[in-house]
Amino acid sequence: MLATAEASTSTFQSIKDGETIVSTDGTFELGFFTPAGASGNRYVGIWYKKISVTTVVGYAEQVLRAGSDIRFRTGPWNGIRFSGTPHLGPNHVYTYQLVFDDRDHEEYYSYKLLNSSVLSRLVLTQDGLLQRYTWIDRTQSWFLYLTAQMDNCDNYALCGAYGACNIGNSPVYDCLKGFVPKFPKDWDTMDWSNGCVRKTPLDCNGKNFLMYSEVKFPNTEQSWFNKSMSLKECEMECTRNCSCTAYSNLYISEGGTGCLMWFGDLIDMRNLTENGQDIYIRMAASEQGKLRQSKKENLELPLFDLATIVYANCNFSNDNKLGEGGFGCVFKGMLRNGQEIAVKRLSKHSTQGVDEFKNEVTHIAKLQHRNLVKLLGCCIQADEMMLIYDCMPNKSLDFFIFDERKSMLLDWPKRFGIINGIARGLLYLHQDSRLRIIHRDLKAGTILLHNEFNPKILDFGLARSFGGNETVAETVRVVGTYGYMSPEYASDRLYSTKSDIFSFGVSVLEIISGKRNRGFSHPDHDLNLLGHAWNLYTEGRCIELLDTSVGDSTNPSEEVLRSIHVGLLCVQKDPKDRPSMSDVVLMLSGEGALPQPEKPGFYCISSDRSENQVDPLSRACSANEVSFTLLEAR
């Protein structure tokens, strides 16, 4: 299959060995060749004409036999992308879409190169990995542009029925809330294939569904969809059918449209750190009640009346919606006295938000610092649970620094002020607050920007506190965000103030460069942002890390160089080598000579060559999703 019409040929002629036919645009060449290991046999093949390394893209007698073992599933089409691969979206090399022909009742995958000068090919490895390569003229070699599978959680049905894989946890497997391992002893030996079963047998009375947020949808082989139904109509339809185990919107456009319903066991789910979707799973009424228990006592916060909050944000109007996550939605609003607020509303169907709600209240209720978001109070009334904060007019830090146009609003003085503000906020948490608090999820998305871009740390749902002389603790489950986790936390489940300092160092390098650590790519190497920054530092070229939108980097300021140096000190592999936050604040102020940093932790991991790439080429399954099976050469 040739990628473009220009690369085709309408020539009909006979050729003999030694002769070739070249496509119209000169990209491809057809002729005879001998494949490796073919014992001198000659085959008709097609290869790239314009590159020095002979790369055959297809030839006669090359036959692949698909097996029955599914290895990878993209998730169903959600109108914009395949829902299980949000990291593989639009990019600068190609675009794609799934096209539906209602007249002929057909669907097909449409793929188009955006730049005809880019040479790109798709390879299926013996291990079942789907990889895309692009040709780099400078190195005269093929560059691995992406691998469709992200990590172990992309292994099909790794956790069995009603299990959800979470690559941020250790171990990665877990049952959905309300479910337990079918055979606990097997799970103890790392065999999760039999999955999970319900704690409480399912009944078919009433409307009992729980929402699970930020997930990859389960296998849709036993599913049904309707493009025109609303989510409410979808819920009613699923409620009426006792065989319906779950429902959701079919598409994510226009706030969610269409209906997708599942029948039978839910298989091959995973938790996603971003761009996941919500699914509503049928539960027994008694189990739903257990999962939503929460009390008002000991919250130590002012209580807001529900009517006051409903008035403040126009009854939770979509126009006032600021964002959405696993906890629920965040809305902006204004109290009657003119004070602007942000309302974090726990979803009625959330199974993870109750604990986060209590944890956030416990850790932030009495904290007061100009670089921490101020919690004004809460509302627990009529089955509603909400937290009320000061409103941040400039949204979150990642909204600016990772956007080419918006990042131009952040000149170097603003970026340096943001770095210093985050450092002072962490210093307060680690040293000056009534408890020594470890945030555990510090990143660009949990830093909000107030007036004049003053940073304020948000989201203490995963925070933990130390008392007395305690300095290091171990957690049963690793939570947080990959790309910001320290090595000792991700691998050994150990967290301390030095875990936050590692996250701070990653954030500093991201603020300076305008690039994400997770998903960073560079044509010269496969390192992540930390490894790239380290290489530049060792070569005396660290100023090249500075975001080009900041301005002229030919005459760097001492602040820029010192900030890069401090960032590298904070991401060192050994937590004992990392400075404390009090040291960081002094270093950023320009006081004292800086020690030489050691190589960063996670130096060699270039996880996810891009957060926005995809190429799921294969046959479509029911409900418009793509699975990859292990292909065996015949």
Active site residues: 441
- Strands (E) in 335-468, as ranges, are 340-346, 375-381, 384-390, 436-438, 447-449, 455-457, 464-466
Cα separation of 355 and 268, whole Å? 26
Could you say which DSSP state residue 397 is in? Answer: T
Q: Is the separation of the CB atoms in 59 and 46 below 8 Å?
A: yes
Cα separation of 95 and 113, whole Å? 7
Count Cβ atoms below 10 Å from residue 49 Cβ, excluding itself. Answer: 15
Per-residue tokens: 593 = 């000579």
Cα separation of 434 and 429, whole Å? 9
Cα separation of 403 and 413, whole Å? 18
Query: At residue 594, what is the residue type?
Result: L
| β partners of residue 377 | 388
Count Cβ atoms below 10 Å from residue 393 Cβ, excluding itself. Answer: 10
Give the pairing type, strands 164-165 and 269-271.
parallel
515 annotated binding-site participant: no
Per-residue tokens: 586 = 């002094």
- Calculate helix-pair angle for 497-513, 529-538, nearest 10 degrees: 80
Cα separation of 281 and 211, whole Å? 6
Q: Known binding site for ATP: residues?
A: 344
